[in-house]
């Protein structure tokens, strides 16, 4: 989505949508080895997440609007997982099985942390 | 008649998403479903040679969703994204100024848009409460019983598949499955059990009952879905076809079979893999009875002008309001054909007078259905909007909904609009003979409700805009029990007049047109205020009834315009007898045709 979020809560909702949801799309449906047919979709989920740009870039773009949630433990954990995924990119794009397996775990971690963040914000009733 | 095993019809999904994430996931991992695409190539998409770069796999906005639903009216479930990152021109019109917010909640607006035409279409919103910032749409979603939030199942193929199955099962098992109003009388309970049991067999089925008892509806909405056959439901009204055309219509033609004949499949071939209803089978000529018997025996049809038969696989349903046993005794119907139609297990639909206990339930179902789709639903939406019972079309929007209460409105919140039928009116309905049975009852109640709504809308439109809301907008957005604009009485006088004016329902009107034409001159000699002849446009339709209704609609529109909206003048042009009563009859028909009263001027 384009535009600037008007509240911290909206920014978190957008982060959960633009990053968390899409990053975990294939990862949550695959256990163990990544089938060859699904590998391109997994790479797209992590490295072309939003407008063809990586999830990490989208997170960075939304960070200023997150206010106090920019330092939330869930967000920090998600950012860390995305940074590790970024380092894996060359091997993953070369379809290295170990890299793809690691990418699955990281994508699931990002999705889970961002969902937890969105739920926490929703429960708190943040502005 | 089933030479091949019947493959169950696979549920059909429509994906509405600005991107391609859901469709990629579905095509990769949910291959047990059919998909409503916007292309004409045979599926499935995942084995299509033209799949690379194809954008016809799903709908990307409301307009494309409309197109896909028009192309696939048999969609079972819609998977709808919520956020749509599309240019403003592709968003639904809205009074909301914040473009980002409109994009973020466009799915909710599309849901409301779909609801205007398809009130009961199951929709799974591919989001969760947390992600949606639920409060933004809670009101719209809380009153929509056919919407489900996917939550964490949105991108989990196995969980999503289970969710889809649950949604499908809920619809299948709903008490009014397929929108058929069963009621509670023992005869209807037996009918329901027998209909669904026999539907699963390959045996032909014979539906008998007086006109208007719901034979066609039972066939289409109950029996055909219960067969779980993948092919279409095809109905032929044998009383509406000139005898000379019946054979060509049923069995098809080969080029040159007769002057102007082209290669064309008949209704048997069209229904192959599905269900064929032969309505008013008692009208079939002796020669065609013999041919039909052969088709039933061999499961093959031969097009007129051909010599080689073609195999067909149909579940055959035959319906009649005549006594076929008596017709056999009189020699008008073949005994062997009747025997083939499985007469021992015939389904008898009781007339309304034998199920008067069902009247309240039927009345409620008919009012709900009157506003579930079509022009009357748009009328209701307009009323809700003008009365400020629903905000303008930016999300979230309360879907139009109508219900009926008997006696007085129940305590508690009212959703949409509640029509109220007085106890005395219910007694009057119960005492009426209703020779046209449930069909006549439905038309009468639909007319009463639409008339009452139309009057309420006209009254509202005549008031200055700032006095329309009761109470004003901020508190009117939540359903309130005391809001008088939500309660519309069906006046007892109106019900009495409709009962007095309702003409007997004809079993089968005579037909004189023998061939399709693009334009026809229909003589209207008794019209006192116009030239004696008019040109009407004949637009080919799905059924003869639809074509006839379209022509009648044109006639009423013309008369309405020329009489400046005076129903008494229209009545004088159309009917003999008491002009006042006839004016009410004309208005009744006017409403039934989906036409709307305009201000005079």
- What is the enclosing helix (H) or strand (E) of B568? helix B567-574
Give the side-chain half-sphere CA count within 13 A for B54.
21
| Residue A2 with chain B: CB contacts under 8 Å | 85, 100, 103
How does pLDDT run across B270-279, given as a tens digit for each residue? 999 999 999 9
**ipTM, 2 dp:** 0.82
HEC profile for B231-255? CCEEEEECCCCCHHHHHHHHHEECC
Q: Is the pLDDT of residue B542 over 80?
A: no
B24 close to A (CB below 8 A)? yes
CA B443, CA B477: separation in Å to the nearest integer?
A: 32
Nearest to B28 among A14, A28, A41 (CB): A41
Q: Which of B192-196, B228-232, B310-314, B469-473 shows the lowest mean pLDDT across its residues?
A: B469-473
Which pLDDT value is given to residue B318?
Answer: 96
Determine how β-strand B300-301 pairs with β-strand B310-311: antiparallel
Contacts of B378 (CB under 8 A, 6+ apart): B116
Query: With bands split at pLDDT 50, 70 and 90, how would you rate the model's confidence at A125?
Result: low
User: Topology of domain B12-172, per CATH?
Assistant: Rossmann fold (3.40.50)
CA distance A11 to chain B (A): 10
Q: Is the pLDDT of residue B524 over 70?
A: no
Which pLDDT value is given to residue A115?
Answer: 86
Which pLDDT value is given to residue B94?
Answer: 84
Which pLDDT value is given to residue B511?
Answer: 31
How does pLDDT run across B38-57, given as a tens digit for each residue? 888 877 888 888 888 888 99
Which pLDDT value is given to residue B502?
Answer: 62
Name the more confident of B438 and A125.
Answer: B438
Query: With bands split at pLDDT 50, 70 and 90, how would you rate the model's confidence at B140?
Result: low
Longest Cα–Cα distance in chain A: 44
Q: Is the pLDDT of residue B227 over 60?
A: yes
| Interface contact A1-B104, CB threshold 8 A | yes
Among candidate residues A3, A97, A106, A115, the one with its CA nearest the CA of residue A47:
A106
The winner for highest mean pLDDT among B135-149, B457-471, B540-554 is B540-554
Query: With bands split at pLDDT 50, 70 and 90, how would you rate the model's confidence at B403?
Result: confident
* Structure tokens given for B465: 């805009």
Stretch B70-77: mean pLDDT = 85
Q: Which residues from A are below 8 Å from B when comparing CB atoms?
A: 1-6, 9-10, 13-14, 16-17, 21-22, 24-26, 28-29, 37-38, 41, 115, 118-119, 121-122
Name the more confident of B132 and A64.
Answer: A64
**Shortest CA distance from A8: residue in chain B:** B133
CA B59, CA B70: separation in Å to the nearest integer?
A: 12
- What is the enclosing helix (H) or strand (E) of B364? helix B359-370
How does pLDDT run across B407-428, given as a tens digit for each residue? 877 766 667 888 999 999 999 9
**Shortest CA distance from B98: residue in chain A:** A3
Matching CATH topology for B12-172 and B186-349?
yes
Q: Is the pLDDT of residue B533 over 70?
A: no
Contacts of B310 (CB under 8 A, 6+ apart): B269, B300, B301, B302, B303
Q: Which of A116-125, B415-424, B500-509 shows the lowest mean pLDDT across its residues?
A: B500-509
Q: How high is the mean pLDDT of chain B?
A: 80
Which pLDDT value is given to residue A6?
Answer: 58
Stretch B495-510: mean pLDDT = 62
**Shortest CA distance from B87: residue in chain A:** A2
**Chain centroid, CA B301 distance in Å:** 31
CA A101, CA A27: separation in Å to the nearest integer?
A: 9
Residue A94 main-chain phi, psi, to 5 deg: -85, 5
| Residue B29 with chain A: CB contacts under 8 Å | 29
Name the more confident of A14 and B448.
Answer: B448
Share of chain B above pLDDT 70, in %: 81
Stretch B7-11: mean pLDDT = 66
Which pLDDT value is given to residue B466?
Answer: 64
Which pLDDT value is given to residue B320?
Answer: 94
- Other beta carbons less than 10 A from residue B467's beta carbon: 9
Matching residue, tokens 């008019």: B534
Q: Where are the domains of chain B?
A: 12-172, 186-349, 356-501, 519-586
Nearest to A25 among B98, B155, B158 (CB): B155
Question: Taking the complete model, does pTM exceed 0.80, yes or no?
Answer: no
| Interface contact B155-A28, CB threshold 8 A | yes
Pick the CATH number of B186-349 from 3.40.50.720, 1.20.1250.20, 3.30.43.10, 3.40.50.300: 3.40.50.300
Structure letter (DSSP) for residue B394: S
CA B396, CA B393: separation in Å to the nearest integer?
A: 8
CA distance B130 to chain A (A): 5
| Distances in whole angstroms, Cα of residue B291 to Cα of each of B234, B271, B530 | 19, 17, 49
Stretch A83-95: mean pLDDT = 96
Which pLDDT value is given to residue B552?
Answer: 86
Contacts of A109 (CB under 8 A, 6+ apart): A77, A78, A81
How does pLDDT run across B358-382, given as a tens digit for each residue? 898 899 889 988 887 777 888 888 8
The winner for highest mean pLDDT among A107-116, B5-14, B113-122, B586-595 is A107-116
CA B295, CA B318: separation in Å to the nearest integer?
A: 14
CA distance A34 to chain B (A): 13
> What 3-state DSSP class applies to B90?
helix
- What is the enclosing helix (H) or strand (E) of B561? helix B544-562
Which pLDDT value is given to residue B39?
Answer: 87
Nearest to A17 among B28, B131, B152 (CB): B131
B21 close to A (CB below 8 A)? yes
| Interface contact A5-B100, CB threshold 8 A | yes
């Amino acid at each position: 989505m384009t535009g600037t979020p008007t509240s911290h809560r909206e920014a978190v909702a957008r982060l959960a949508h633009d990053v968390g949801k899409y990053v975990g799309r294939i990862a949550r449906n695959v256990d163990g080895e990544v089938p060859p047919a699904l590998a391109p979709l997994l790479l797209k989920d992590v490295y072309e997440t939003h407008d063809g740009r990586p999830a990490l870039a989208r997170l960075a773009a939304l960070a200023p609007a997150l206010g106090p949630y920019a330092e939330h433990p869930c967000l920090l954990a998600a950012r860390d997982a995305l940074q590790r995924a970024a380092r894996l990119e060359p091997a993953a794009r070369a379809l290295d099985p170990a890299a793809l397996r690691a990418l699955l775990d990281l994508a699931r971690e990002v999705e889970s942390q961002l969902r937890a963040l969105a739920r926490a914000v929703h429960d708190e009733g943040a502005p | 008649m089933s030479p091949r095993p019947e493959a169950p019809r696979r549920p059909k999904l429509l994906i509405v998403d600005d991107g391609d994430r859901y469709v990629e996931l579905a095509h990769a991992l949910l291959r047990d479903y059919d998909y409503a695409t916007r292309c004409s190539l045979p599926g499935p998409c995942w084995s299509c040679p033209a799949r690379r770069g194809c954008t016809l796999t799903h709908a990307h906005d409301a307009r494309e969703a409309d197109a896909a639903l028009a192309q696939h009216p048999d969609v079972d479930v819609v998977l709808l994204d919520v956020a749509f990152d599309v240019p403003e021109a592709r968003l639904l019109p809205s009074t909301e100024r914040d473009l980002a917010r409109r994009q973020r909640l466009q799915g909710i607006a599309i849901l409301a848009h779909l609801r205007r035409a398809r009130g009961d279409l199951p929709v799974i919103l591919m989001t969760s409460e947390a992600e949606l910032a639920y409060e933004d749409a809670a009101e719209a979603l809380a009153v929509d019983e056919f919407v489900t939030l996917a939550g964490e199942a949105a991108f989990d193929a196995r969980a999503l598949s289970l969710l889809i199955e649950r949604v499908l099962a809920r619809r299948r098992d709903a008490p009014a499955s397929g929108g058929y109003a069963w009621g509670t009388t023992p005869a209807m309970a037996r009918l329901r059990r027998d209909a669904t049991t026999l539907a699963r067999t390959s045996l032909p089925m014979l539906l008998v009952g007086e006109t208007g008892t719901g034979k066609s509806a039972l066939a289409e909405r109950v029996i055909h879905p219960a067969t779980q056959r993948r092919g279409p439901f095809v109905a032929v009204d044998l009383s509406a076809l000139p005898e000379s055309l019946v054979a060509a219509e049923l069995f098809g033609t080969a080029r040159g079979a007769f002057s102007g004949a082209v290669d064309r499949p008949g209704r048997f071939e069209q229904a192959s893999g599905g269900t064929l209803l032969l309505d008013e089978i008692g009208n079939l000529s002796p020669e065609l009875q013999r041919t039909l018997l052969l088709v039933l025996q061999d499961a093959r049809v031969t097009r007129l002008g051909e010599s080689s038969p073609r195999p067909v696989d149909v579940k055959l349903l035959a319906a009649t309001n005549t006594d076929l046993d008596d017709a056999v005794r009189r020699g008008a119907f073949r005994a062997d054909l009747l025997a083939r139609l499985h007469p021992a297990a015939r389904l008898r639909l009781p007339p309304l007078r034998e199920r008067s206990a069902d009247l309240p339930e039927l009345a409620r179902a008919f009012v709900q259905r009157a506003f579930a789709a079509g022009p009357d639903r748009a009328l209701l939406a307009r009323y809700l909007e003008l009365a400020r019972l629903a905000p303008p079309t930016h999300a979230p929007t309360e879907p139009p909904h109508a219900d009926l209460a008997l006696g007085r409105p129940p305590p508690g919140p009212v959703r949409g609009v509640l029509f109220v039928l007085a106890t005395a009116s219910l007694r009057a309905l119960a005492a009426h003979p209703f020779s046209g049975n449930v069909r006549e009852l439905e038309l009468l109640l639909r007319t009463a409700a639409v008339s009452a709504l139309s009057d309420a809308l006209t009254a509202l439109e005549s008031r200055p805009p700032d006095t329309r809301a009761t109470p004003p907008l901020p508190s009117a957005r939540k359903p309130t029990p005391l809001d008088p604009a939500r309660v519309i009485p069906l006046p007892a006088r109106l019900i009495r007049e409709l009962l007095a004016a309702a003409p007997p329902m004809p079993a089968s009107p005579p037909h004189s047109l023998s061939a399709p034409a693009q334009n026809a001159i229909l003589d209207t000699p008794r019209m006192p205020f116009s030239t004696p002849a008019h040109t009407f446009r004949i637009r080919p339709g799905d059924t003869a009834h639809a074509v006839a209704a379209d022509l009648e609609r044109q006639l009423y529109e013309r008369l309405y315009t020329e009489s400046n909206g005076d129903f008494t003048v229209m009545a004088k042009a159309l009917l003999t007898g008491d002009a006042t009563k006839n004016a009410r009859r004309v208005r009744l028909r006017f409403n039934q045709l989906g036409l709307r009263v305009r201000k005079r001027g």
